[in-house]
Amino acid sequence: MTKTAWVFPGQGSQALGMGMDLLDIPAAKDKFAQAEEILGWSVTEICQSEEEKLSHTLYTQPSLYVVESILADLLRERGHWPDLVAGHSLGEYTALYIAGVFEWSAGLYLVKRRAELMDSAIGGMMAALMNFDHEQLEKVIAQTPDVVVANDNSSAQVVISGKTEAVQAVISQVKAKRAIPLKVSGAFHSHLIAAAATEFQDILESVEFQTATIPVLSNVEPIPSIDGDILKQRLNKQMTGSVRWREISLQFPANGIQRVVEIGPGKVLTGLIKRSSPCLMLENIHSVADLPI
C-alpha cells in the first residue's frame, strides 16, 4: 500500500465558485445548511458570487474549512484514508477534524471565532518573499524589531509579518526576485496579534480534543502526534507562531509517505512540497470531478 498524506490549504487559496459542484450531493447540501446555522451566513452564497467577501478573513476561513472538509469526507466515503494529515494555517483545523480530534461543528465554531478575532486584529502587514538571500534575510530580521518569519513555506518562499514600517524595511534591504504584500487585515502569525490569540485560548479550552485516529503534523511543531492535549497545545500557539511548512514537507518522506493529496482549491501546497520533497507523488482534489471513483 502506498503511504499517503492529505494536506489542506489555508487563506489565500480560496477561489470564487469553489464548492458549487458539491450542491448536487445531498450530504454536502446538509453540511452547507448546518454551516449556515452556525455561521449566520451562507457559504454557498459567498463562494458563488461575492468575490470581495470571500477574500475577507471573516468569510475566507470558514468557507475553506467547510469546502475542504466536505471534499475530504466524500473521499473517505469512497474508501480512501490518509496515513498522515497536515494543514497550512487555517487548513490545520480541517486536518484535525479529519483526524477525529473534534466534531465537525466544533471545528467550524473554532474557525468562526478564529476568523472573527483575526479579522479584528487590525494593523501591521504581511509580505511574501520569493527567491531571496537566506543569510541576508536572517541577518536583517535579527536586526529589525517587530518583524518575524510568519510562514517558512519552502527554500524559495517565506512570508514575513509585523509592523508595516518593519516589514517594508526588510523588503528594502533583502535581495529577492519578488516581494508581494499580502491582502490581509493584520500581522498574522506574529506577536502583534497576541491579544486575539489570548482571547482565542479561552475558546479553544472550551472544546474537547480527542486522541487522533491519524497522526497530525502541526504548523508550530512538525512532529507527528495523536495526543489530543499535545495537538491542542500546538494549535494554541499557532495564531502567533510561525507556520513551518518547509519542515512539514520534509517530514513526509521521513515518515515513509510516498504520496500527498492536496484537498481544496488551488495547488499552493503541492507546489511548495515539490520544492522540498521532489520524490513524492503529488495530487490535487479541487472538486467532485477530481474524486476517485
List the catalytic residues. 89, 189
Q: Residue 4 is inside which H or E element, if any?
A: strand 4-8
User: Exposure pattern of 237-250 as b/e (b: 16+ CB <10 Å)?
Assistant: ebbbbbbbbbbbbe
What is the distance between the alpha carbons of residues 47 and 284, in angstroms, rounded to a whole number?
20
State the sign of the Cα–Cα–Cα–Cα dihedral 110, 112, 117, 119: positive
4 neighbors 252 (Cβ within 8 angstroms): no
Residue 203's SS3 state is helix
What are the cell numbers at 122?
487590525
Length of the chain: 293
The amino acid at 257: I
What are the cell numbers at 288?
467532485
What are the cell numbers at 21?
459542484
- β-sheet bridge partners, residue 221: none
Under the phi-then-psi rule, with left for phi > 0, alpha for psi from -120 to 50, and beta for the rest, what region is 282? beta
CA dihedral 224, 227, 232, 234 (to 10 degrees): -30
What are the cell numbers at 191?
506577536
User: How does DSSP classify residue 156?
Assistant: T
What are the cell numbers at 94?
480541517
